[in-house]
Amino acid sequence: MVIVCEVSMEKNTLDWFRKALAVTPDALKVEVAGAELNLLVWGEQDKPALLFIHGGAAHAGWWRFIAPFFLPDHRCVAVDLSGHGYSEHREYYPPGIWADEILELIDMGGIFSSRPIIIGHSMGGLTGIRVAAEADIPGLIIVDAAVRPPENPPHQRVRRNILGRSRLYSSKQDAVGRFRLIPPQPTINPEIVDFIADSSVRQVVDGWAWLFDPNAFQQLKPVSLFEQLERVTCSVALLRGELSRILDSEAAVKMCGAFGGTATLVDIPQAYHHIMIDQPLELVSVIRTVLAEWG
């Protein structure tokens, strides 16, 4: 059964959030680029497809309460990149490996009837840029991801050092209690944050750990993708949280001017970096508007 969520639901309750979570996706395992990836899939294969890509140290579950809004008009797929969620961990994460995974995924049979529009948050947006620079996709929606010229260092080094540390907790309660958004932002919707935190840990032999692989962030090096923007010729929408600490307005304008195709910049009022957590209905509304304009 498909439940279609409406943006017009009252914002002062989270009934819409619980109804969206009740739309249970299928879980699929696929082998791409030498690793087994976990996918969450909603909708019929023959529908126009949306591929949701999470940010660094996140997972496909961050889209669990967003993707159902786009049913039944779309096939929706959220992917756990390698080293994230319930996908396989790698011994080594070479530059661009996550884009390589997506490039293989969008061309393999049985998932999409045609190449999807990519919707990527933060690191997922950067991955989407790499993919769009190499492949012919119908569109790319970037959710608060910053690309700066090589002379302007990205604001990522502190976060990667933090994420590269292995942590072990004695109980799930202890692990969940240590969950923090990076960069920090006010907790506007605590029920959503609690859901994300609860779904971000796993039990291991000696206790509880985060789902993501710290080694992926120990090996990751800051790289500017600015020169690749010109090779992205599909339609692009860059969505920026008005209060984001990752993507400032100046950098966003420069990004939009550097794309090889048409790029639209949309500021989402009162939104921080993790827009799907603090302004989820506004995010859905903007994505719907973009998709409608692209036809």
pLDDT in tens, 193-217: 999 999 999 999 999 999 999 999 9
Q: Inform me whether the pLDDT recorded for 1 exceeds 60.
A: no
Question: 3-53: per-residue pLDDT in tens?
Answer: 333 444 445 579 999 999 999 999 999 999 999 999 999 999 999 999 999
pLDDT band at residue 156 under the 50/70/90 scheme: very low
Q: Inform me whether the pLDDT recorded for 241 exceeds 60.
A: yes
The CATH number corresponding to 15-152+223-294 among 3.30.2010.10, 3.40.50.1820, 3.90.1580.10, 3.10.129.10 equals 3.40.50.1820
The percent of residues above 70 in pLDDT, for the chain, comes to 93
160 contacts 148 by C-beta, under 8 angstroms: no
Q: Inform me whether the pLDDT recorded for 122 exceeds 90.
A: yes
Question: 146-155: per-residue pLDDT in tens?
Answer: 999 887 655 5
CA dihedral 280, 269, 257, 274 (to 10 degrees): -40
Cα separation, 142 vs 122, whole angstroms: 8
The phi and psi torsions of 291 (rounded to 5 degrees) equal -60, -40
Structure-model confidence comparison of residues 157 and 178, the more confident one:
178
Nearest in space to 170 (alpha carbons), one of 205, 212, 213, 211: 205
Q: Inform me whether the pLDDT recorded for 159 exceeds 80.
A: no
227 contacts 189 by C-beta, under 8 angstroms: no
pLDDT of residue 12: 53
pLDDT of residue 13: 73
The SS3 of residue 247 is: coil
Sequence spans of domains, the chain: 15-152+223-294
pLDDT of residue 35: 98
Average pLDDT over residues 76-96: 97
